[in-house]
Structure 1
Amino acid sequence: MQVDTIQIKFITPAETYVVRHPVLRVGKPVESCKLEGDEDPTTFHLGAYMDGQLVGVVSMLIQEYSGQSHQKSYQLRGMAVLASKQGRGIGAQLIAAAEEEVTNRGGDFIWMNARLKAVNFYTSLGYTIDSPLFEIEKIGPHYVMVKELS
């Protein structure tokens, strides 16, 4: 796997749309890229830049996960890397930066609804499946995946 040099920065919710739309919302209106919680003051968004171009995004919002007792849980949402840049380690760098920021903010647990095709990626980063396979209407099959941060 090639690991490219990228710069990770905090970005606004609207800036995530440039990557969310072609990766996660193909064929849907750009407005569908706005996710619940994007504008919450405790939510943060990270962007991965390569040669000045935004190529990857991830959003993290404070959201408890049922059945878990943690000091502060974050939900990972809207994770995407442009198709032409996938397989280069950009997503792994974004997740590592997000995990570090969650820890800096006092968080100790991350969970997400992971698309079936992304499960191996998240497993390689230490996330585990914590649900049966389920369908999100108009998006496809997902698992809940979790990770405790130390």
Structure 2
Amino acid sequence: MNYFIQEITATETYPVRHIVLRAGKPIESCRFEGDELPSTHHFGYFLDNQLIGLVSLFESENLLLGDQKSFQIRGMAVLDSHQKKGIGNALIQEAEAFCKKQNTTLIWFNARTSAVGFYKKLGYEIVGAEFEIKEVGPHFLMFKKF
């Protein structure tokens, strides 16, 4: 099986985002504010030329973590049938490598509570208490400085 990671368009993220993150909601819910900005980057994981995972990086400061240049991960998704096979790890490694090339040392995101263990294994830390994102569910703010 051949796999590769490459930059993709915001629109190309919608089918996987829809299945994994917005099931049962309109496809329009997969469009995130800032998706089309030149500073936003989307990376897709392809297996045998089929998109099965993705991560999006938005240049965005989080003042709780300082005022340095940072990127926010949004829309991290791997199709259920391909989870627990290292694909999410590979996508996070790609995101971190990209951020280093952009001269930033901070990545942050709002992690679904169910995904916190995955991110902790990759060195990410929780800040603050669990909170609810309307129509999405419980989350924690997580970050990593490198």
- TM (norm. structure 1) is 0.94
Q: Which residue of 1 aligns with 2:116?
A: 119
Q: List aligned pairs for 1:13-28, cutoff 5 A.
A: 13-28=10-25
Q: Which residue, 69, 81, 91 being the options, matches 2:66? A: 69
RMSD of equivalent CA atoms: 1.2
Query: Across the two proteins, how many residue pairs are aligned to each other?
Result: 146
Greater share of strand: 2
Distance, in Å, in 1 between the alignment partners of 2:3 and 2:59 is 26
Distance, in Å, in 1 between the alignment partners of 2:101 and 2:110 is 23
Q: List aligned pairs for 1:1-150, cutoff 5 A.
A: 6-69=3-66, 71-149=68-146
Asked if the contact 2:45–2:52 (Cα under 8 Å) also holds between the matched residues in 1, the reply is: yes
Asked if the contact 2:43–2:55 (Cα under 8 Å) also holds between the matched residues in 1, the reply is: yes
- TM (norm. structure 2) is 0.96
How much has 1:31 moved relative to structure 2? 0.7
Asked if the contact 2:55–2:75 (Cα under 8 Å) also holds between the matched residues in 1, the reply is: yes
Structure 2 stretches lacking a partner, 5+ long? none
- DSSP-derived class of the 1:67 partner: helix
- DSSP-derived class of the 1:130 partner: strand
Show CA shifts across 1:28-86 (max 9, x none): 01110001111111110000001111000100011101133353110000000000100
Q: After the TM superposition, which segments of 4 or more aligned residues of structure 1 sit over 4 Å from their partners?
A: none
Structure 1 stretches lacking a partner, 5+ long? none
- DSSP-derived class of the 1:76 partner: strand
